[in-house]
Amino acid sequence: MSKTRQNLAGEVQGNLLVDEPMARYTSWRVGGKADQLYIPAGLEDLRTFLKNLDTGAPVYFVGLGSNLLVRDGGIRGTVIIMHNVLTTLKIEGALIYAEAGVTCGKLAKFCAKQSKQGAEFFAGIPGTLGGALAMNAGCYGTETWNVVNSVTTINKQGELHKRAANEFLASYRHVDMPVVDEWFVAAWLDLQIGDAEESTQRIKDLLATRLASQPLNLPSAGSTFRNPAGDFAARLIEVSGLKGYKIGGAQVSEKHANFIVNTGNATAQNIEQLIKHMRDTVLEKQGVALQQEVKVIGEYLS
């Protein structure tokens, strides 16, 4: 049973949960318990919490948990949940300001309504802006860092830093951070002036494509592997005969071969074993070493 403490050290206003099951916070609906999980009341509250936190313990920031596998043994350290916390979204001059807890879908629709073009692709990303920044998420030919002007980060001491986009080296589904142990809390996006109706229609088309091609009826974490240059991971997995392959409750989706779905009783171990089997099989049969897109954290169940 999770224990809730409020007003930690008499200063913070968020909720601190002890031994909290991470299955509640990941889109795969699997994962062991986090030693402690904090849901901040806002940015200033997050700063206060970090200032009072033991700096020697690991810290993990989680948005929608849509690109994340938490092992069954759980997480030693502190998880900070950003979804539904940092959600400010507004126009600042010629730029769009969005905090890290804003969902990508909401961001896409907001930009369209403001007649800002270039953010429509966010509608196809099932996560928060913070996660999209951390992994340079993208779809349909556009990536997050293509539209970033600058960001605000926070470190373990609760200090905020505004950094220009050129301080980061963004590549396909990866971002090199200039400083260790900093996390994104907000970004300014530089978008072109466009037509609101045209952008809205583009978003509807992207969502229709996603619905038709992805297994949205079962828990998953999006694409399991990055697409290799000039090819698609889903094609390589499918021609390797893996569609529908199961380990425990984890299954290679029959709708999209680069998705692993939880059919109802999967464990994190099932999913991690299936990821390995997919990688090994594609390497053996197609001669291609797939690169994992899903981030895996936590401890194995002892």
**Whether 51 and 97 share a structural domain:** no
Q: What is the pLDDT of residues 60-90, one digit of tens each?
A: 999 999 999 999 999 999 999 999 999 999 9
Catalytic: 202? Answer: no
CATH assignment of the domain containing 72: 3.30.43.10
**Whether 55 and 100 share a structural domain:** no
Does 279 fall in a domain? yes
Does 121 fall in a domain? yes
Task: Report phi then psi at 300, rounded to 5.
Answer: -70, 150
User: DSSP readout, 211-267?
Assistant: HHHS-TTS---S-SBPPPTTS-HHHHHHHTT-TT-EETTEEE-SS-TT-EEE-SS--
Catalytic: 240? Answer: no
Cα 246 to chain centroid, rounded: 25
CATH assignment of the domain containing 250: 3.90.78.10
**Whether 146 and 103 share a structural domain:** yes
> What is the chain's length?
302
> Which of 20, 99, 272, 293 is flagged as catalytic?
293
Q: What is the pLDDT of residues 6-61, one digit of tens each?
A: 445 558 899 999 999 999 999 999 999 999 999 999 999 999 999 999 878 899 99
> Which of 66, 220, 223, 253 is flagged as catalytic?
223
pLDDT of residue 10: 56
Q: Is the dihedral of CA 273, 275, 280, 282 positive or negative?
A: positive
Does 222 fall in a domain? no
Does 225 fall in a domain? no
Q: Are 194 and 115 in contact (CB under 8 A)?
A: yes
Tokens of 248: 């425990």
End-to-end CA distance of the chain: 20
Does 227 fall in a domain? no
Does 218 fall in a domain? no
Residue numbers in the chain where pLDDT is lower than 50? 1-7
Catalytic: 253? Answer: no
| Domain that includes residue 43, residue range | 3-81
**Whether 104 and 142 share a structural domain:** yes
Distance CA 153, CA 162 (A): 6
> Which of 47, 173, 202, 279 is flagged as catalytic?
173
Read off the pTM: 0.93
Nearest to 147 by CA among 105, 182, 117, 179: 117
**Whether 192 and 261 share a structural domain:** no
**Whether 101 and 200 share a structural domain:** yes
**Whether 265 and 192 share a structural domain:** no
CATH assignment of the domain containing 179: 3.30.465.10
pLDDT of residue 5: 44
**Whether 26 and 98 share a structural domain:** no
Does 221 fall in a domain? no
- Structural domain count of the chain: 3
Does 288 fall in a domain? yes
Last residue of a domain, one of 65, 81, 97: 81
